[in-house]
Amino acid sequence: MSFKPRCTFAIISHPDAGKTTMTEKLLWFGGVVREAGMVKSKSGDYAKSDWMELEKQRGISITSSVMSFEYNDRALHLLDTPGHKDFSEDTYRTLTAVESVLMMIDSAKGVEAQTIKLMEVCRMRDTPIVTFMNKFDREAMDPFALLDNIESILKIQCVPMTWPVGNGVDFKGVYDFKTKQILSFKDSKDPFTPSYVDASDLDAPSLLEAIGPALVEKLKEELEMVATLIPEFNMDEYQAGIQTPVFFGSALKNFGVKECLDLITQIAPTPKPREAVLAPYDSNAEKITIDPSDKEFTGFIFKIQANMDPKHRDRISFMRVCSGRFERNEKIYHVRTGKEIRIATPLIFQARDRDIAEEALAGDIIGLYDTGKYQIGDTFSMGKKHIRYTGIPSFSPELFMRVTAKDPMKAKHLEKGLSQLSEEGATQLFIRRHTNEKMLGAVGALQFEVVKYRLEDEYSVEASYEPVAWAGVRWLKFPDKKSEEKFAQDYSSVIMEDKDKRLCFAVRTEWDLKLAMEKNPDVKFFKNSDYI
């Protein structure tokens, strides 16, 4: 990719709000797809591996993880945040690798459960957000009610860039605050030839003719209210995640999408400096900030996807480049293992295709073929720099299973399989201290089925899975060893170790958690593992 400022972003939405439809349209503008329906095929028209068969059988769409395209002189990387049944920790973690987010809202429903969870993760880094109120070609909530819904639930100030004129069968288009024109709604496959109605004079007969007297009156009232109630767009507040510019439209009809993408390419941040720590990585580790313009290459793995290619039983580790220049065939330093590695076939992605990347710059995402060497959060550097990127946590699972091998002779295989699969990051393996039981945690139920399928397929282990009604885990930090030992004794039945042997507290109920926190004010409880 020639040098163009990078824009690495993700779309977040509750399932069915229109994320896939929007992705298709964005790729269409980027010239990556020529027709709708190519990004994700419900009939499953992708290269699939064995265990992905499982997803196919269950009617879950297989989406690309990274889609790269160019538009308006920017190199965009759109990262997928799987939803529906394939919702997993990956969905959260992807947000640690982007600089900004496009949030899709179903305008008939407003904010929904999954949007709230994803927003919590965006808040961790104050990620800037552009909002698209989708499906205005159908019956929608009142626009003020929608803005209020977002502001009150997601605690972000909405600044409309456009304003809807009618909705559903009466949808006439959107008023653009900047140009004072109405972009007319028409079911057109070609948004490059839009038609506008001048609305600089709201009493003009041409406007009356275009949208009718009732909608003119409504528009007048609403624009007055907007002028008094809503502040101007402020770039700094957007960048700080305090304000979100809002568009109204219809992804399905490719209406309002171009305007939204145009703004993203104008305002979305280029790669930002990132926090890291210097070795040794304990609680006293020295924090440093790495600037994307630093000469030395650094990057980290945020996602591992198994067996993407049915011909090779490979995994692909997705690396976000954070600084410097990565070059194919140059040796890079794998900080966790202390080994130098030459990457001969780094991949870049374009919707369904992958290509060899000759180089990659800060903000780019590259795929590394991986035979099991890499783990989520692994940092790579040039010049044996001992840094580790922070902010790529494990998140508290919401669902738990106790896993035991059906054949006790296979216990070792089970352990190996579970720990390797948890290194990929889709599920987490915890060991319950006082019983040594293996507890598997996930944020989406499908992950357990994927683990079951893969354990049988790749490790030949049949296991029993028994649901455990826990609400989550908290990572713990103690002031000293003595208090750690006392706590571990007092709460022995709910003490677990994560894959890095850090102590965790299993939350049976929120009430239990509250009591434990009150009784142990010197112990810190963390909802994700990134607390050093």
Contacts to ligand G4P by CB under 6 A: 13, 15-21, 83, 134-135, 137-138, 250-252
Pick 82 or 417: Cβ nearer ligand G4P: 82
Question: What are the beta bridge partners of residue 367?
Answer: 318, 347
What's the closest the beta carbon of residue 254 comes to ligand G4P, in angstroms?
9
Query: Is 65 known to sit in a ligand binding site?
Result: no
Q: How far apart are CA 368 and CA 345, in angstroms?
A: 7
DSSP 376: T
Which tokens hold the place of 397? 């699972």
Query: Is 363 known to sit in a ligand binding site?
Result: no
What's the closest the beta carbon of residue 532 comes to ligand G4P, in angstroms?
35
Q: How far apart are CA 260 and CA 252, in angstroms?
A: 14
Pick 138 or 352: Cβ nearer ligand G4P: 138
What's the closest the beta carbon of residue 506 comes to ligand G4P, in angstroms?
32
Pick 186 or 295: Cβ nearer ligand G4P: 186
SS (H, E, C) 205-241: HHHHHHHCHHHHHHHHHHHHHHHHHCCCCCHHHHHCC
Pick 251 or 304: Cβ nearer ligand G4P: 251
What's the closest the beta carbon of residue 61 comes to ligand G4P, in angstroms?
8
Which tokens hold the place of 492? 């022995």
Query: Is 434 known to sit in a ligand binding site?
Result: no
Query: Is 21 known to sit in a ligand binding site?
Result: no
Letter string b/e over residues 43-66, b meaning 16 or more CB atoms within 10 A of that residue's CB: ebebebbebbebbeeeebbbbbbb
Query: Is 135 known to sit in a ligand binding site?
Result: yes
Q: How far apart are CA 472 and CA 395, in angstroms?
A: 9
What's the closest the beta carbon of residue 140 comes to ligand G4P, in angstroms?
10
Query: Is 81 known to sit in a ligand binding site?
Result: yes
Pick 134 or 528: Cβ nearer ligand G4P: 134
Query: Is 16 known to sit in a ligand binding site?
Result: yes
3 state SS of 243: strand
Q: How far apart are CA 44 and CA 33, in angstroms?
A: 17
Query: E strands within 229-358?
Result: 243-248, 274-278, 287-290, 298-306, 315-323, 325-327, 331-334, 339-342, 347-350, 353-356
Q: How far apart are CA 333 and CA 342, in angstroms?
A: 9
What's the closest the beta carbon of residue 16 comes to ligand G4P, in angstroms?
4
Query: Is 77 known to sit in a ligand binding site?
Result: no
35, 508, 526 from 530: Cα distances, Å = 42, 22, 8
Pick 20 or 379: Cβ nearer ligand G4P: 20
Q: Are 326 and 309 in contact (CB under 8 A)?
A: no
Pick 18 or 393: Cβ nearer ligand G4P: 18
Pick 250 or 428: Cβ nearer ligand G4P: 250
What's the closest the beta carbon of residue 121 comes to ligand G4P, in angstroms?
17
Q: Are 491 and 455 in contact (CB under 8 A)?
A: no
DSSP 139: -
Q: Crossing angle of helices 143-154/113-124, nearest 10°?
A: 50
Query: Is 406 known to sit in a ligand binding site?
Result: no
Pick 21 or 94: Cβ nearer ligand G4P: 21
Query: Is 18 known to sit in a ligand binding site?
Result: yes
What's the closest the beta carbon of residue 199 comes to ligand G4P, in angstroms?
23
What's the closest the beta carbon of residue 313 comes to ligand G4P, in angstroms?
29
Query: Is 19 known to sit in a ligand binding site?
Result: yes
247's CB contacts (< 8 A; 6+ apart) are 130, 131, 132, 133, 160, 161, 162, 174, 256, 259, 260, 263
Task: Tell me the binding residues for GTP.
Answer: 13-20, 80-84, 134-137
Task: Tell me the binding residues.
Answer: 13-20, 80-84, 134-137
